[in-house]
């Protein structure tokens, strides 16, 4: 396989995984909206959790990107950093979906 095709294929894989993550995130948003629409203490705790998780996920994603960017290892590339950052969000989204569908 040519180098250009290999490069395109790896970016296409990351893009596809990110698109699927976006779809999964939309389902979590819908589940959260239903929980918040129910009102009460459960809705309040969900809103607090939502804000806290977003800040924590952003911090972890930035840390993963920064470590990957400054590590200087020749094996680190933009694709690997993007995959690591996407993994941070994927873990959060899947955990939320699991919790909200119980």
- Provide the domain count of the chain: 1
pLDDT at 73 over 70: no
Q: Phi and psi of 2, rounded to 5°?
A: -70, 160
Domain carrying residue 14: 3-100
Which tens digits make up the pLDDT trace of 15-52?
A: 999 999 999 999 999 999 999 999 999 999 999 999 99
| Rounded Cα distance, 72 and 39, in Å | 49
- What ranges make up the beta strands (E) of 1-102? none
Q: Quote the tokens at residue 58.
A: 């952003």
Coil, strand, or helix at residue 72?
A: coil
């Amino acid at each position: 396989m040519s180098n250009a095709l290999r490069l395109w294929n790896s970016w296409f894989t990351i893009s596809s995984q990110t698109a699927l993550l976006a779809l999964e995130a939309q389902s979590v948003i819908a589940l959260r909206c239903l929980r918040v629409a129910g009102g009460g203490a459960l809705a309040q705790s969900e809103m607090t959790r939502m804000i806290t998780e977003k800040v924590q996920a952003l911090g972890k994603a930035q840390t993963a990107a920064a470590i990957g960017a400054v590590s200087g290892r020749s094996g680190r590339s933009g694709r690997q950093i993007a995959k690591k950052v996407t993994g941070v969000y994927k873990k959060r989204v899947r955990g939320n979906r699991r919790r909200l569908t119980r």
